[in-house]
Amino acid sequence: MKYFCIDYGLARTGLAVSDPEGIMAFPRKTLVLERLGSRKALLAALVDAVLAEGAQAVVLGLPLHKDGAESLTTRQVKNIAARLQRRLHEHKPTLPLYFMPEFLSSEEAAADLAAAGLAPKQRKAVLDQQAAVRILESFLALPEHRRLPA
C-alpha cells in the first residue's frame, strides 16, 4: 500500500511518500504557506499532491509534548485532517487517514541532514520533507493494529 505523509507546520509543511509496497519512505516536497498565500490554498495543494501520488492512505504527523499532552499545533493538525478528509472524500471516498504521534521529528531530521553533509542552507530547504520521512518511517514500522485512524 502506498502511503502519503504530511508533516504539517504553521509556516512549512513537509511531504513524503512510501514505495507502493509501503516499506520505504521518500521525501517529496515542502509547501510554504507564505508562497501559497492562504491555508485554503495549502489544503488544495495537499489534496492535489495526495491524488497526484496515487496514495492509498494518508498519514499525518501528530505533534505531542514529551508527556503525550496535546498542543495548539496538535489541534491544528486534527483540524487540517478533518478538512483534508472531507476534500479527499470527493475524489477517493475510501481513502483512510491516520495519525502518527510524533515529537522531535524536525530535530532528528536536522541531525540526519547534517550527518549527510548538507550545508545549513540546503538543510533548511529539505528539513520538513525529511521530518515527514521520519514520521512515515515510524508509521511503517508499526504493526497495523497499532496504527491510529484519524
- In angstroms, the CA 84 to CA 65 distance is 24
Query: What is the pTM for the complete model shown?
Result: 0.88
Q: Pick the closest to residue 47 from 76, 5, 87 (CA basis).
A: 87
pLDDT of residue 145: 87
Full pLDDT tens readout for the chain, 150 residues: 999 999 998 899 999 999 999 999 999 999 999 999 999 999 999 999 999 999 999 999 999 888 878 888 899 999 999 999 999 999 998 999 999 988 666 667 566 656 666 566 665 666 688 899 999 999 999 998 888 898
Give pLDDT, residue 106: 67
- What angle (nearest 5°) sits at the alpha carbon of residue 17, between those of residues 94 and 91? 30
Edge-first strand order for the sheet with 25-32 is 25-32, 12-18, 3-7, 57-63, 97-102, 148-149
pLDDT for res 125 = 64
Q: Return the pLDDT at 65.
A: 82
Residue 65 structural domain: 3-149
Q: What are phi and psi of 139, to 5 degrees?
A: -65, -50
Grid cell for residue 28? 517529496
Contacts of 50 (CB under 8 A, 6+ apart): 4, 58, 84, 88, 95
Please give, one letter per residue, the 3-state secondary structure of 69-121. CECHHHHHHHHHHHHHHHHHHCCCCCCCEEEEEECCHHHHHHHHHHHCCCCHH
**According to the model, what pLDDT value does residue 114 have?**
61
**pLDDT number for residue 33:** 92
Residue 149 gets which letter from DSSP? E
pLDDT of residue 53: 96
- The single-letter code of the amino acid at 128 is D
pLDDT for residue 41: 96
Q: What is the pLDDT of residue 4?
A: 98
33: CATH: 3.30.420.140
Q: How many domains does the chain have?
A: 1
